[in-house]
Amino acid sequence: MSITKESELVGMRKVSEAVALTLKEMRNYAKPGMTTKELDDFGAQLLADLGAKPAPSLTYGFPGATCISVNNEVAHGIPSTKTILKAGDLINIDVSAELDGYWSDNGGSFVLGEDTHQHQALVATSKRILKKAISQIKGGVRIADIGRLIETEAKKSGYKVIRNLTGHGIGRSLHEEPHEIANFYDRYNTTRFRKNSVVAVETFISTHSTMADTQSDGWTLLGNKGGYVAQHEHTIVVTADQPIILTEMNGGNPNNVMLLFQDCNCK
């Protein structure tokens, strides 16, 4: 969506704070011995308390309020009573929701407890690359150039990117135009970021795989060449300068709100 008036920005801030808070609290709540279903139930209750509805089940009939992927699962992991979290696990939680007609998406990978399997470097790289990519996004920048940055930074650190999972536009629905904000340089994609638009930008940094394959359950994604993947995602508003990071709790640059409205008829 494009932000055309202040009430829309307020709506996007509200839903983004709900998903960001839920993600933060779910990460703090996760403990060894807990099932991913218990963790998902906790997240579902948080969203409900905030008046938000979980987007995966609402939009696609996903069997859970949030996606929780563990170890070699790349994304779309189904919360289960059979999956028990252990110290050292690489966990990804992806929270998306709808609130008052607005949608937001926020995700992050982390190591549970002590880093016994040496996943922290991968997690830190994914987080760092997303931060750098977001810092380069402004109105007029080619989407493909951000993909080039993500892929180049991953290669510099000895990693690969997942090529068939991408960021996307968001706002009035979970997935909107632009439908593909890739993690690699797609020379055929000439689309540029538009000022005032809302997008969800995400990294998929991988140790071995370059593609994610859907498993027999119809949801869980695994890498085509094994290994591990770290993902981080923020919902942002594109401006003429630094973006407004809506899902960064107590973060972002509030001065960008003025930049957002300077050159439009937003009221």
Q: Residues annotated in the binding site, as ranges?
A: 76, 94, 105, 168, 175, 202, 233
Bond preceding residue 63 cis, omega within 30 of 0: no
Q: Indicate the burial class of 227 (C-beta count within 10 angstroms; 0-12, 13-18, 19 or more).
A: middle
DSSP state of 77: P
Picking from 10, 7, 12, 6, the residue whose alpha carbon sits closest to that of residue 176 is 12
Picking from 79, 90, 88, the residue whose alpha carbon sits closest to that of residue 36 is 79
Q: How many CA atoms lie within 13 A of 140 on its CB side?
A: 3
- Residue numbers in the known binding site for a divalent metal cation are 94, 105, 168, 202, 233
- Gyration radius of the chain over CA positions: 18
- Residue numbers in the known binding site for substrate are 76, 175
| Distance from C-alpha of 102 to C-alpha of 143, rounded to nearest angstrom | 23
Picking from 256, 138, 111, 157, the residue whose alpha carbon sits closest to that of residue 201 is 138
Classify the phi-psi angles of 147: left when phi > 0, otherwise alpha if psi is within -120 to 50, otherwise beta.
alpha
Sequence-ordered strand ranges (E) for 80-219:
90-99, 102-111, 160-161, 167-169, 176-181, 198-206, 212-214
Tell me the CA end-to-end span of the chain in Å, nearest whole number: 16
